[in-house]
Amino acid sequence: MCGRYAASFAPDDLVDDFEIDQDRTDETTRSILVNPQDPPAGAPDWNMAPTKQAPVVLTRATADAPPARQLRLLTWGLVPSWAKDTKVGLRMINARAETLLDKGAFARAALARRCLVPADGWYEWQVSPTAVDTKGRPRKQPFFVRRADGQIAAFAGVYEFWRDRSLPEGDPGAWVASYSIVTTAAEPGLDRIHDRQPLVLDRGDWSRWLDPALVDPGPVRAMLESAPRGRFEAWPVGAAVGSGRNNGPDLLRPAPAEDLVGVVDPMTGEVIG
């Protein structure tokens, strides 16, 4: 997964769909961006990129209250609690399902801090087997992939809290809440676009994935390995999505046929253009 997805909804749109108990997206959270996020965190965003804050669903329990399903704004790019600074998050936007329970950066979160990342779908870049760009390198064609049934996609994710020890106790800016998207091997057809894809959980698995009481590696591993196939559709889109400055629903518009050069149809394997 190359690190871009679409999340064209406002938090209010997710409350019913994800059976949210507490919408906490209005709480001020620390951003690691140098400039203000555009669109603002929590607003519809058709070009979600690493280091941005995005709506994430998780279940938290406290000493004086039962577990509650929350909607929060978290930073994309997991920063482990032991990290010296937040820069490590740029290398941890994705977590491989095959090693999630074994890798030090993700293992504890995989058993204690799992989340769902709502999305319309994701972007991926296909390397052409026949065409090259103006610099003689293989041409890359962006695709958009979404659920074929039109439902919202819920990416499996893990999240973490990191504290800035240079700031005093009680400073709300001392904490960064961040997440990684779990990826798995691309299914047949989608593997003609890229060899990886997000692990998309069906609605029937949401509660179990979010359950903080589920700390047994066995059932967690089973969910990582049991994703059904054939749920997605994909089409080539314009090159505008490659720039984080571009946004809006036009990014999802299918690319004109005349713009396709050396593009492999993910369903048939036919080379177009």
Give the domain 5-121+149-232 fold: hypothetical protein yedk fold (3.90.1680)
Q: Where are the domains of the chain?
A: 5-121+149-232
Name the amino acid, one letter, at 81: S
pLDDT of residue 9: 95
User: Do 158 and 182 contact (CB within 8 A), yes or no?
Assistant: yes
CA–CA distance, 6 with 122 (Å, rounded to integer): 6
At residue 171 the predicted structure's pLDDT band, cuts being 50, 70 and 90, is confident
pLDDT at 64 over 80: no
If you average pLDDT over residues 199-209, what whole number do you get? 96
CA–CA distance, 24 with 163 (Å, rounded to integer): 20
What Rg, from alpha-carbon coordinates, does the chain have? 19
* Residue 47 parent element (H or E): strand 45-48
pLDDT of residue 36: 93
pLDDT at 1 over 70: no
Averaged confidence pLDDT in the chain: 94
pLDDT at 60 over 70: yes
pLDDT of residue 226: 80
Structure tokens at 39: 């669109």
pTM summary value: 0.95
pLDDT of residue 131: 95
pLDDT at 208 over 70: yes
pLDDT of residue 135: 92
At residue 145 the predicted structure's pLDDT band, cuts being 50, 70 and 90, is very high
pLDDT of residue 65: 80
pLDDT of residue 95: 96
pLDDT at 63 over 80: no
Nearest 5°: phi and psi at 239?
A: -70, -10
Q: Summarize pLDDT for 85-138 with one digit per residue, the tens.
A: 888 888 899 999 999 999 888 999 999 999 999 999 999 999 999 999 989 999
Name the amino acid, one letter, at 233: E
- Tell me the sheet residues that pair with 54: 74
